[in-house]
Amino acid sequence: MKNGIVIVDDYAHHPQEIEATLKAALNYPHRKIWCLFQPHTYTRTKALMDEFAESLSLADHVIMADIYAARETDTLGISSANLAEKIRAYGTPAEYISGFEEIRKFILKNCMHGDLLITMGAGDIVKVGEMLLSE
């Protein structure tokens, strides 16, 4: 917990897993559910873009980190900004923020006491929660 914000990390990196986690989070006492999501690979992000947007829109607010490339390079011309735009089309506020330090600052400025922050993905997004908790 940081400043009254509960921070949880979840490995979910597929739309069905994301949906299950966010639906379960509704049962946890919270003011708002924030989801910090890091997509895993460009090909998966492109192939499941609409499904990702739909499942992530279950959160009250979404922050998109850069795509975790793993073994890939970006030859598809997509980014987390594209996914944030699709999430907003569902009516859920969503930002794309590049860089973990910038994300950390955004969270400290915008998340409030009583909020639930879930860092989600199969990459290194867990580092943001660790950064917040180590301060």
**Domains of the chain, first to last:** 6-134 (3.90.190.20)
Distance CA 11, CA 122 (A): 5
**Residue 43 DSSP SS3:** helix
Q: Residue 125: what pLDDT?
A: 98
pTM: 0.96
> What is the band of 76 on the pLDDT scale with cuts at 50, 70, 90?
confident
Total Cβ atoms within 10 A of residue 56: 25
Q: Residue 75: what pLDDT?
A: 81
Tokens of 75: 């030859």
Distance CA 35, CA 102 (A): 16
Query: What distance lies between CA 102 and its chain's CA centroid?
Result: 14
Asked whether residue 25 carries a pLDDT value surpassing 90, the answer given is: yes
Alpha helix positions (H), 30-79: 42-47, 49-56
Distance CA 94, CA 88 (A): 6
Q: Residue 73: what pLDDT?
A: 82
User: What is the tens place of the pLDDT at every residue in 55-66?
Assistant: 999 999 999 999
The arithmetic mean of pLDDT across residues 27-49, rounded, is: 96
What order do you get walking across the sheet with 116-120 strand by strand? 6-10, 116-120, 33-37, 61-64, 94-96
Q: Residue 114: what pLDDT?
A: 98
* CB distance 21 to 12 below 8 Å: yes
Which DSSP string corresponds to 84-133? HHHHHHTT--EEE--SHHHHHHHHHHH--TT-EEEEE-SSSTHHHHHHHH
Asked whether residue 18 carries a pLDDT value surpassing 90, the answer given is: yes
